[in-house]
Structure 1
Amino acid sequence: MPFFFSCGFIFVSILIGPLKVIPYIFCSFQIPTNAAGLIEYRAHPFWVQKYCPFHEHDGTPRCCSCERMEPRETRFVNLDDGRKLCLECLDSAIMDTNQCQPLYLDIQEFYEGLNMKVEQQVPLLLVERQALNEAMDGERSGHHHMPETRGLCLSEEQTVSTILKRPRIGAGNRVMNMITEPYKLIRRCDVTAILILYGLPRLLTGSILAHEMMHAWLRLQGYRTLSQDVEEGICQVLAHLWLQSQIMSISGSNIASTSSSAPVARSSKQGTSSPFERKLGDFFKHQIESDTSPVYGNGFRAGNHAVLKYGLRRTLDHIRLTGNFPY
């Protein structure tokens, strides 16, 4: 099943008096008053980036990762599939398959720390959006796929175009000189590969990978066919646990883990993490928590409730026996 984000945020409309100052406003010009003589603006509920309602319809770009709008004085990076990436998210973006391998090893260690080692060697490939869509079409499983798919756990033999060399950023902040190569997937077990969309920050890439790794683990452990909300829900729980471990690591926290919490994982990114990366981790974690979709959102909340109450191992044992979360 694919990994996607269904954002549960509601962008707030706020009215204030015309003489009041609006802090941290996105717009570079004075917002005119409406017919009632009040200033109306919108605010992102997480970043609190404020902007006038006009920007919701004038084509102002949003970052495909953090959802913030492109300021007038800054130009986002243009990825080749039409996505836009802000410069802060670009700083830790994973751009090719080789660059993603250390992160893959980290998440394998994370699973081992949960006594959930994935024994089989499953290829991890970073791909463009078109290759991801073609791979979804090549799967015979008939799963329901969402439009914002960013990751995929494959079970069929097919040839996938993977990104071999990190593209460079050229004139106009456009991605250039991307080198791809065909990769033939061979079925040696129930999972042939994990595909992740390129160009996303390390923490988002890692949470997607942790989600897809759980799909792989369930298949390789012989779990019977599960309902979408149970399978996607428990996969989101693992993505959420991994993000928690990264946020703790970035913060230098030594909080002791319990049977239902994640071990603190080492970071695959060299150097000191920026305050923005910590905030970005909080944002991705909050996206999972506030997702309003019945499958991913409600599935996560049911799975997370079960894991917090019974622990991860007992929850997985119950899923194996009944196909449902324990209550």
Structure 2
Amino acid sequence: MKLSQIIQILVFFTLLVQLSNINAQEVKCKACNKVIEGKYIVVDGNAYHPNHFVCAKCNKPIKGNYYKKDGKYFDEQCYANSVAPKCSVCDKPLTGKYLTDFYGIKYHAYHEKELHRCDNCNRLISQNTTKGGVQYSDGRYICNICRKKAVTTEAEYQRSLKKIIASLKNYGLNISLNNVEVDAVDRNELKRVSDKNYSNSARGYCLTTVMKTNYRSTTKITKSHKIFVLNQIPAKYIEATLAHELMHVWINENIDHKLSKQLEEGACNFISYTYLKSDYSEDAQNIIKQMKDDHDPIYGEGFRKVYNNFKGKYLSELLNYLKRHKSL
């Protein structure tokens, strides 16, 4: 699922030096408020004696290009050394275009082409920002922040499944644990079982198997569900994925008609949001932000439509809507 990025531009000014031979009796210096005679410079519509347009940091006259911040002027060297924010990746001054991510990390735009992003949390992987990272055997890049919190045992996945089912029941989403199992898999296996439904941002997939048993004139239909979740990711991402996939289980158990992909995936993301909304941990808030900012027309736009229509309402209203409609 894609990270939101904010491009900030520090406006670069070129010093305009004006040489004047005219009578300057009515021109006053902005700095000393005295009448200027002879040469002067004009900055932002204000006139200065050449030696009175000074750097706010070193108090020396600015002779060339300058930067302006918060109404103050700085020469290039002072701005770079003392005023400009530092790149979180390389620690060099950010004096031009730079990016700021969800975590408040500021960095040069060109690092986007040099470094990998964590396939889990979407952080830019570097020694300074994440203490490095690793590449799993299935091709995923994982930062060491996520790797340190990664769940590595099947038993923990099973406990998470029970936890989410119990939590969702409190919201009115009833799912039986008896016909649901979870399997932690790598990306290659997730891609295989998902087949044409796979996307690079996917962390899970629900596979529903339908069995029909005929006895005399009666046909019995039994459904079983297997949820595949990416292995070696932090617990909160596992929980968010399970909440999403368990909504697919509920839909497969309770909805007879085919929902539009936008409505179905949007509803599943909404259940994930419902589970996470009272959790103020950094991981939970990042997952919610990823869903809200997702540009995908199915997952992202679907979630926003469901969210805007059903936020603040009882979950039963969404469930009843799904039973009566095919799309939003």
TM-score, length-scaled by structure 2:
0.69
Higher relative contact order (CA 8 A, sep 6+): 1
Q: For 2:156 and 2:247, how far apart are their aligned partners in 1? A: 21
Unaligned runs of 5+ residues in structure 1 are 33-38, 138-142, 158-187, 248-277
The 10-residue stretch of structure 1 (64-73 or 122-131) with the greater mean CA deviation from structure 2? 64-73
Q: Residue type of the partner of 2:199?
A: M
Q: Residue 181 of structure 2: which of 101, 123, 130 is its match?
A: 123
Q: For 1:69 and 1:45, how far apart are their aligned partners in 2? A: 9
1:232–1:299 CA contact under 8 A, matched in 2? yes
2:5–2:102 CA contact under 8 A, matched in 1? no
Where in structure 2 are the equivalents of 1:139-218 lying within 5 Å?
A: 144-156=197-209, 189-218=222-251
Following superposition, the deviation at residue 144 of structure 1 comes to 4.2
Q: Residue 300 of structure 2: which of 297, 300, 303 is its match?
A: 297
Per the alignment, residue 317 of structure 2 pairs with 314
Per the alignment, residue 154 of structure 2 pairs with 97
Q: Residue type of the partner of 2:228?
A: L
Q: Residue 132 of structure 1: which of 177, 186, 190 is its match?
A: 190
Q: Residue type of the partner of 1:52?
A: H
Per the alignment, residue 163 of structure 2 pairs with 106
Q: Which has the larger radius of gyration?
A: 2
Q: Residue type of the partner of 2:116?
A: P
Match of 1:155, SS state, is: strand
Q: For 2:284 and 2:166, how far apart are their aligned partners in 1? A: 19
Following superposition, the deviation at residue 192 of structure 1 comes to 3.1
Q: Residue 123 of structure 2: which of 54, 68, 79 is its match?
A: 68
Match of 1:200, SS state, is: coil
Match of 1:283, SS state, is: helix
Identity %: 24
Q: For 1:70 and 1:147, how far apart are their aligned partners in 2? A: 18
Per the alignment, residue 12 of structure 1 pairs with 7
Match of 2:9, SS state, is: strand
Following superposition, the deviation at residue 297 of structure 1 comes to 1.4
TM-score, length-scaled by structure 1:
0.69
Following superposition, the deviation at residue 84 of structure 1 comes to 2.4
Q: Residue 88 of structure 2: which of 15, 26, 33 is its match?
A: 26
Q: Give the direction of change, closer, same or farther, for the CA distance of 1:194–1:103 in structure 2 (3 Å limit).
A: same
Following superposition, the deviation at residue 291 of structure 1 comes to 1.4
Q: Give the direction of change, closer, same or farther, for the CA distance of 1:309–1:76 in structure 2 (3 Å limit).
A: closer
Q: For 1:189 and 1:42, how far apart are their aligned partners in 2? A: 55
Following superposition, the deviation at residue 194 of structure 1 comes to 0.3
Q: For 1:204 and 1:225, how far apart are their aligned partners in 2? A: 28
Following superposition, the deviation at residue 241 of structure 1 comes to 0.9
What whole-Å deviation, never above 9, does each CA across 1:104-161 have from its counterpart, x for those lacking one? Answer: 1110101211222212421100001111111123xxxxx643232211000249xxxx
Following superposition, the deviation at residue 243 of structure 1 comes to 1.1
Q: For 2:312 and 2:107, how far apart are their aligned partners in 1? A: 41
What whole-Å deviation, never above 9, does each CA across 1:48-75 have from its counterpart, x for those lacking one? Answer: 21112221212x1222222222233532
Q: Residue type of the partner of 1:130?
A: N
Q: Give the direction of change, closer, same or farther, for the CA distance of 1:71–1:6 in structure 2 (3 Å limit).
A: closer
Q: For 2:90 and 2:2, how far apart are their aligned partners in 1? A: 30
Q: For 1:223 and 1:303, how far apart are their aligned partners in 2? A: 20
Q: Residue type of the partner of 1:293?
A: D
Residues 1:324 and 2:327 aligned together:
yes
Match of 1:246, SS state, is: coil
Per the alignment, residue 176 of structure 1 pairs with none
What whole-Å deviation, never above 9, does each CA across 1:166-196 have from its counterpart, x for those lacking one? Answer: xxxxxxxxxxxxxxxxxxxxxx843430000
Per the alignment, residue 261 of structure 1 pairs with none
Q: Give the direction of change, closer, same or farther, for the CA distance of 1:145–1:63 in structure 2 (3 Å limit).
A: closer
Q: How many residues align?
A: 248
2:172–2:315 CA contact under 8 A, matched in 1? no
Following superposition, the deviation at residue 86 of structure 1 comes to 2.3
Q: Residue 84 of structure 1: which of 141, 148, 159 is its match?
A: 141
Match of 2:205, SS state, is: strand
Q: For 1:214 and 1:226, how far apart are their aligned partners in 2? A: 13
Following superposition, the deviation at residue 311 of structure 1 comes to 2.5
1:318–1:324 CA contact under 8 A, matched in 2? no
Following superposition, the deviation at residue 309 of structure 1 comes to 5.5
Per the alignment, residue 288 of structure 2 pairs with 285
